[in-house]
Amino acid sequence: MKALDELTFDNRFARLGDAFSTHVLPEPLDAPRLVVASEAAMALLDLDPAVAETPVFAELFGGHKLWAEAEPRAMVYSGHQFGGYTPQLGDGRGLLLGEVYNQAGEHWDLHLKGAGMTPYSRMGDGRAVLRSSIREFLASEALHALGIPSSRALCVIGSDTPVWREKQERGAMVLRMAHSHIRFGHFEYFYYTKKPEQQAQLAEHVLNLHYPECREQPEPYLAMFREIVERNAELIAKWQAYGFCHGVMNTDNMSILGITFDFGPFAFLDDFDAHFICNHSDHEGRYSFSNQVPIGQWNLSALAQALTPFISVDALKEALGLYLPLYQANYLDLMRRRLGLTTAEDDDQQLVERLLKLMQNSGVDYTLFFRRLGDESAALAVARLRDDFVDLAGFDAWAEQYKARVERDGEFSQEQRRARMHAVNPLYILRNYLAQNAIVAAESGDYSEVRRLHAVLSKPFEEQAGMEQYAQRPPDWGKHLEISCSS
Ligand code: AMP
Ligand code: MG
User: What does 177-226 look like in DSSP terms, one character per residue?
Assistant: EES---BHHHHHHHHHTT-HHHHHHHHHHHHHHH-GGGGGSSSHHHHHHH
- Average pLDDT rounded to a whole number, residues 423-441: 98
**pLDDT tens column, 333-384:** 999 999 999 999 999 999 999 999 999 999 999 999 999 999 999 999 999 9
Phi, then psi, of 11 in degrees rounded to 5: -85, 80
Cα(373)–Cα(369) distance, rounded to whole angstroms?
6
Distance 121 CA to ligand 1 centre (A): 7
Question: What was the pLDDT predicted at 483?
Answer: 75
Q: Is the pLDDT of residue 486 over 80?
A: no
Q: Is the pLDDT of residue 480 over 90?
A: no
Cα(126)–Cα(118) distance, rounded to whole angstroms?
7
Atom of ligand 1 nearest to the CA of 126: 20
Q: Whose CA is nearest to atom 17 of ligand 1?
A: 124
**pLDDT tens column, 98-132:** 999 999 999 999 999 999 999 999 999 999 999 99
Contacts of 418 (CB under 8 A, 6+ apart): 374, 375, 376
Of 5, 109, 160, 252, which one is the catalytic site residue? 252
Q: Whose CA is nearest to atom 16 of ligand 1?
A: 124
Cα(224)–Cα(211) distance, rounded to whole angstroms?
6
pLDDT category at 231 given cuts 50, 70, 90 is very high
Residue among 76, 81, 120, 166 to mutate when testing ligand 1 (max atoms within 8 A of CB)? 120
- For the entire predicted model, the pTM comes to 0.98
**pLDDT tens column, 318-333:** 999 999 999 999 999 9
Query: Quick one: which ligand is closest to 91's CA?
Result: 1
**pLDDT tens column, 186-209:** 999 999 999 999 999 999 999 999
> Does the active-site annotation cover 252?
yes
Contacts of 185 (CB under 8 A, 6+ apart): 77, 78, 79, 80, 89, 250, 251, 252, 254
Cα(154)–Cα(61) distance, rounded to whole angstroms?
9
Q: Whose CA is nearest to atom 23 of ligand 1?
A: 92
Element (H, E) at 156: strand 152-164
Question: What was the pLDDT predicted at 487?
Answer: 78
Give the rounded percent of residues in the chain with a pLDDT score beyond 70: 99
Residues with CB under 6 A from ligand 1: 89-93, 120-121, 124-127, 248, 253, 262, 264, 485
Distance 243 CA to ligand 1 centre (A): 26
Q: Is the pLDDT of residue 87 over 80?
A: yes
